Amino acid sequence: MDSAKNANRFFNIVQPSLILFIKYEFWHYYCKEAAERKIPLLLASGIFREDQIFFKWYGNFYRNILKNFSQFFVQDEQSAILLKQVGLQEKIMISGDTRFDRVLDIVANFEPIQIIETFCKGSVTIVAGSTWTEDDEELDHFINQHPTIKCIIAPHEIESERLKECLKLYKNSMLFSTYEQLLIKNEAMSNDPQVLIIDNYGMLTRLYHYATICLVGGGFGGDGVHNVLEAAAYGKPVIIGPVYEKYIEAVDLVENGGCIAVENALELEDVLLQLLDAGNPLYHSASKAAKKYVYANAGATNKIITHIQEKRLLTN
95-137 pLDDT tens trace: 999 999 999 999 999 999 999 999 999 999 999 999 999 999 9
Could you tell me if 283 and 273 are in contact, meaning their C-beta atoms sit under 8 angstroms apart? no
Q: Which CATH class is domain 105-296?
A: alpha beta
What value, to the nearest 5°, has the Cα angle with vertex 225 and ends 222 and 226?
125
Task: Categorize the per-residue pLDDT at 316 as very low, low, confident or very high, splitting at 50, 70 and 90.
Answer: low
Q: Which architecture, in CATH terms, is 4-96+299-310?
A: 3-Layer(aba) Sandwich (3.40)
Task: Categorize the per-residue pLDDT at 164 as very low, low, confident or very high, splitting at 50, 70 and 90.
Answer: very high
pLDDT at 222: 85
Q: What is the pLDDT of residues 185-235, one digit of tens each?
A: 887 676 799 999 999 999 999 999 999 999 999 999 988 999 999 999 999
Q: Phi and psi dihedrals of 162, rounded to 5?
A: -70, -40
Q: What is the pLDDT of residues 175-184, one digit of tens each?
A: 999 999 999 8
Strand order in the sheet with 238-240: 173-175, 195-197, 150-155, 125-131, 213-216, 238-240, 259-261
Q: CA 85, 86, 92, 95: dihedral to nearest 10 degrees?
A: -70
Domains of the chain, by residue range, sit at 4-96+299-310, 105-296
| Spatial distance between the Cα atoms of 112 and 207, rounded to a whole number of angstroms | 9
Taking phi over 0 as left and psi of -120 to 50 as alpha, with beta for the rest, 155 belongs to beta
Residue 4: which residues within 8 A CB-CB, separation 6 or more?
29, 33
| Spatial distance between the Cα atoms of 110 and 117, rounded to a whole number of angstroms | 13
Report the residue count for the chain.
Answer: 316
Residue 92: enclosing H or E segment and its boundaries? strand 92-94
Give the CA count within 13 Å in the CB-facing half-sphere of 226.
Answer: 19
Closest by CA position to 219, among listed 250, 255, 249, 253 = 250
Q: What is the pLDDT of residues 224-267, one digit of tens each?
A: 999 999 999 999 999 999 999 989 999 999 999 999 999 999 99
Q: CA 257, 151, 125, 123: dihedral to nearest 10 degrees?
A: -170
Could you tell me if 89 and 286 are in contact, meaning their C-beta atoms sit under 8 angstroms apart? no
| Spatial distance between the Cα atoms of 164 and 272, rounded to a whole number of angstroms | 26
**What number is the average pLDDT over the span 162-174?**
98
| Spatial distance between the Cα atoms of 209 and 195, rounded to a whole number of angstroms | 17
Is pLDDT at 52 greater than 90 in this prediction? yes
Residue 104: which residues within 8 A CB-CB, separation 6 or more?
233, 294, 295, 298
Q: Do domains 4-96+299-310 and 105-296 have the same CATH topology?
A: yes
Residue 52: which residues within 8 A CB-CB, separation 6 or more?
59
Could you tell me if 173 and 194 are in contact, meaning their C-beta atoms sit under 8 angstroms apart? yes
